Amino acid sequence: KAGVTQTPRYLIKTRGQQVTLSCSPISGHRSVSWYQQTPGQGLQFLFEYFSETQRNKGNFPGRFSGRQFSNSRSEMNVSTLELGDSALYLCASSSLAGGETQYFGPGTRLLVL
């Protein structure tokens, strides 16, 4: 089975722009979670989608949003980018929702200038 795929792998944006990141879960997985990884804050939960519905949300501003499509693929969007949004954005998928094993993709590295 193919693993979790994320596109693009690298991205450079400037302050004020917006960005959309994409995640394709493992085939058959219906839950997709997003995490932000930075040297200062570590790995932090952004949100989780299951069957096209956001089930959980972390403590991030409203500039961070996401959605999930009927084929379980997910996108996250960050509007009005700030320098502090520079991070590795990781997507994880699991077969079900609620305490199930999560498998991570390689991440999208975003640099905001």
Counting Cα atoms < 13 Å in the Cβ hemisphere of 93 gives 25
Tell me: does residue 74 bind other proteins (CB under 8 A): no
Contact between 37 and 49 (Cβ < 8 Å): no
Pairwise CA distance, residues 12 & 29, whole Å: 30
Binding letters toward other proteins, positions 51-70, x by CB under 8 A: ----xx-x------------
Contact between 11 and 89 (Cβ < 8 Å): no
Residue 24 phi/psi, 5-degree rounding, is -110, 115
Q: Which residue in the set 8, 16, 84, 98 belongs to the binding site for other proteins (CB under 8 A)? A: 98
Q: Which residue in the set 11, 45, 79, 95 belongs to the binding site for other proteins (CB under 8 A)? A: 45
Tell me: does residue 104 bind other proteins (CB under 8 A): yes
Residues that bind other proteins (CB under 8 A): 4, 31, 33, 35, 42-45, 48, 50, 55-56, 58, 90, 92, 94, 97-107
